[in-house]
Amino acid sequence: MTEPESSFLTLGIESSCDDSAVALLRGRRSVIAELLASQTESHAPFGGVVPEFAARQHLEAFLPLMEEVFRRGALSDPAKEIGLIAVTAGPGLMGSLLVGVMAAKALAMAWNVPLIAVNHLEGHMFANIVSFPDLEPPFLCMIVSGGHTEIVLAKDYGKYEFLGGTRDDAAGEAYDKVGKVLGLPYPGGPVIDRLANAGNPRAFDFPVPMKGNREVSFSFSGLKTAAVTEIARLRKENAEIPLEDVCASFQRAVVESLVGKLSLAVKMTGVTSVALSGGVAANSALRRELQKKKDWKVYLPPASRCTDNAVMIAAAGYSAFRRGVRSSLDLSPDPSWTLW
Ligand code: KG4
Ligand code: ZN
């Protein structure tokens, strides 16, 4: 029996890295309003996120974002209409997290509304719960972004088992590094993805990390080094760099590794519902490969839900609230908070 949608309103706040995001969620998955201020362009000249600069931009972004979300949600008295404030408290950059957490605490105190600290990675899992009404635990979730590459088994709401993650770089980090060495704009991931579609994935024999090893674990630093070394060799020989082929070959190895380890996780757990989240989940080759898995039920959220957003934080917070979780107003962010 599906339960009736609640009219309960949750305010979600996300500021773990370089996106300031605010959302209003009604019940489990009805998005009333959401806004996001991305800092990607302002960090681009530095080739990566500059933590101090990120925190300062969050500080400037949040008040106008909130006012606009309340306006779009047609809230006449947010203090009375909002029943819960859910905020990302980690993992992430300390300065960035602090801005969102302080804003959430101030509002919770002023409005006398409950507060929930949400783990950013649990939030990423909820990007799927929000997007797909038919998705229920147990399911596998691969979170693959600039900071994380891991596979988690969601046994139930709030009950997770970590199956494995990266031993070194995250997949997105490797994409961005190879992009930088190729002289592509930041972030490299989406650009490499686009160029790869016009290239030959077998042009370079880049190794598939951890292939054949019977563990759910990833490693992208060796692959990154192999690509960077090959680019340096071509440059030294004054050879023209076949951008599309390098991108396609690099992407082939990344995608083969991600899909291979997901297949292993499916075999180990017997769970065939497979969800994706994180920026790299937007990757076109990864999506194509997963869509070929006819024995699995694959959940691929839209790109805007894969990347950082406040809807997923509100959804994870509301779920925790219904399970009786509450956070105190003493809450401090934890940049290395691990949930599993
Ligand atoms: O989840 P996200 O927005 O931020 C965090 O890292 O938390 O992920 C950003 C990462 C970047 O490394 C970016 O290059 C990568 O996701 N990315 C992609 C694609 N779109 C974004 N990587 C490969 N293919 C894409 N289409
Ligand atoms: Zn994220």
Domains of the chain and any CATH numbers:
9-128+306-322 (3.30.420.40), 137-300 (3.30.420.40)
CA 71–ligand 2 middle distance (angstroms): 27
Q: Whose CA is nearest to atom 6 of ligand 1?
A: 146
CA 170–ligand 1 middle distance (angstroms): 10
pLDDT at position 148 over 90: yes
What is the average per-residue pLDDT within 157-176?
Answer: 97
How large a percentage of the chain has pLDDT more than 70?
99
| Eight-class DSSP state of 275 | E
β-sheet with 9-14: strand ranges across: 30-38, 19-26, 9-14, 84-90, 115-119
Token representation of residue 203 = 């042009």
pLDDT at position 171 over 60: yes
- pLDDT for 5 equals 67
Average pLDDT, the chain: 96
pLDDT at position 149 over 90: yes
Question: Which of 171, 269, 264 is closest to 216 using CA atoms?
Answer: 264
pTM: 0.94
150 lines ligand 1 (CB under 6 A): no
146 lines ligand 1 (CB under 6 A): yes
CA distance 95 to 288: 37
- Per-residue pLDDT tens over the stretch 57-102: 999 999 999 999 999 999 999 999 999 999 999 999 999 999 999 9
pLDDT at position 2 over 60: no
Q: Whose CA is nearest to atom 20 of ligand 1?
A: 190
Pocket residue to mutate for ligand 1, from 145, 191, 250, 313, most atoms within 8 A of Cβ: 145
pLDDT at position 141 over 70: yes
